[in-house]
Amino acid sequence: MMPNYYEFYCPVKIVSGNKALSNLPYEMDQLGAHKALIITDQGVVAAGLLKTVQSVFAGSNCAIGAVFDQTPVDSSNLVCNQVAKIFNEKGCDCLVALGGGSAIDTAKGVNIVVSEKTDDLLKYQGAERIKEPMKPLIVIPTTSGTGSEATLVAVIANVEAKVKMSFTSNKLYPNVAILDPKMLVTMPKKITAATGMDALTHAVEAYVCLQKNPVSDAFAITAIKLVRENLVKAVENGGDEPARLAMANAALCGGIAFSNSLVGIVHSMAHACGGVAHIPHGVANAILLPWGMEYNLDKSAEVIAELAPWLGASVSGSKMDQAKAAIQAVRELSKKLSELSGLPLKLKDAGLKEDQFPQIAKTAINDGTMNYNPKDATIEEVIAILKKAY
């Protein structure tokens, strides 16, 4: 159904291919920037990817002003405040995020702190709070999941409050996303599987949730198709560069879709599982996606049924039959990924404790993404889903 009104925005330049990384200094130059602060993490450094990035600066008129390589998984406001000081001390003029969602969102958070000249990121939590123009931000994703290279959101932990905070603004879109398969071939199997399911969850939720529109639908369907055709291949053989590049594009398209349509109950619960119990974002989504789809069945069977062919499911029978077949296809994909990579299929196996359910449910119903789910949920209803997924 055509919405009465919608907006769609994506100002990110996409550079995709197996020589894409070599364009980094050129892209900086185009943005008028010449001294980068690279934000990355220890896993990415150990995989040799920082060295690869450093090497492309040789012979260019751009330089690396500083490297912050201590990004924790699920970065916090405190980390962003600390890294912003390094940016200023070293006289950097742009940010390069090298990593998965944690490094990318840290870079977005640092950008807020340096551009707004504030001492604490927390002051900017929420929607459209940013007023100043941002510094140039170039993103080189090393996971294929969050889509943060093409979204308006940064998800950053408030360690004290044990919640994941969202910062959203059109100013948070990166300027350039560089998708290069050589930055992805080192990704371990389980992270490939979990982050790939995050990409799928973005696409499915973007397609099903209340703010869907025809343009984001197109990106969501492309993402689902690319995940279906390439995720198992990328897990089976990490060195499969075409599959890696396709998954990078799947994550990007999922990000573009949900940045405009938002997500729903699966992400509400996954954010809560991350904030309360430190379950990795992709793992939580992988486990919860079929249960969230099932929860929405009575409101959204027709829309979920439209996804059946793209998920490789049966398109015969009633709309409800087709929607159930789509959910079954998601379950089968997770099962296959679990066999190949050890991806947990149950919250229990991901380390959740039953006594954490009430806090997770309370956090989930207060998560902003819940507003976009086709069907409201109470604490009791979320606990019932968590029990099923346990």
Ligand X SMILES: NC(=O)c1ccc[n+]([C@@H]2O[C@H](COP(=O)([O-])OP(=O)(O)OC[C@H]3O[C@@H](n4cnc5c(N)ncnc54)[C@H](O)[C@@H]3O)[C@@H](O)[C@H]2O)c1
Complex with ligand X: residue 190 or 225, whichever CB lies closer: 190
| 338 lines the binding site for ligand X (CB under 6 A) | no
* Count of residues engaged in binding ligand X, rule: CB under 6 A: 33
The length of the chain in residues reads 390
Nearer to Fe ion, 64 or 210 (CB): 210
154 binds ligand X (CB under 6 A): yes
Short-list 276, 277, 273, CA closest to 287 = 273
Question: Hey, is 28 helix, strand or coil?
Answer: helix
106 binds ligand X (CB under 6 A): no
Q: Rank residues 184 and 200 by Cβ distance to Fe ion and give the closer one.
A: 200
Q: Nearest 5°: phi and psi at 65? A: -80, -35
DSSP state of 201: H
Binding mask 273-312 for ligand X (x = CB under 6 A): -x------xx------------------------------
| C-beta of residue 264 within 8 angstroms of C-beta of residue 205 | yes
From residue 78 to residue 117, the character string flagging contacts with Fe ion as x (rule: CB under 5 A) and all else as - is: ----------------------------------------
Looking at the Cβ atoms of 243 and 301, the one nearer to ligand X is: 243
CA nearest 307: which of 227, 221, 389?
A: 221
Applying CB under 6 A, does 153 fall inside the site for ligand X? yes
Percentages (nearest 5) of helix, strand, coil residues in the chain: 55, 10, 30
What's the rounded Cα separation, in Å, for the pair 12 and 368? 24
Candidate segments 78-86, 93-101, 286-294, 368-376, binder of ligand X by CB under 6 A? 93-101
Adjacency order of strands within the sheet including 176-179? 13-16, 176-179, 137-141, 94-99, 35-39, 63-68
Window 53-92: residues binding ligand X (CB under 6 A): 73-74
Supply the DSSP string of 243-287, one letter for each residue: HHHHHHHHHHHHHHHHHHH---HHHHHHHHHHHHH---HHHHHHH
Phi, psi angle pair for 92, to nearest 5°:
-75, 155
Q: How far is the CB of 318 from ligand X (least distance, A)?
A: 34
- The residue of the chain with the least Cβ separation from Fe ion equals 198
* Least distance in angstroms from the C-beta of 32 to ligand X: 25
Contact with ligand X (CB under 6 A) among 27, 41, 93, 205:
41
100 binds ligand X, rule: CB under 6 A = yes
Q: Is 198 in the site for Fe ion (CB under 5 A)?
A: yes
The residue type of 304 is: I
Whichever of 195 and 249 has its CB closer to ligand X, that residue is: 195
Where do we find the tokens 């954010």?
Answer: 271
Is-contact 292 300, C-beta < 8 A?
no
Q: Binding to Fe ion by residue 74, rule CB under 5 A? A: no
Chain residues binding ligand X by CB under 6 A are 41, 43-44, 47, 73-74, 99-103, 105, 142-143, 145-148, 151, 153-155, 164, 184, 186-187, 191, 195, 198, 255, 274, 281-282
Chain residues binding Fe ion by CB under 5 A are 198
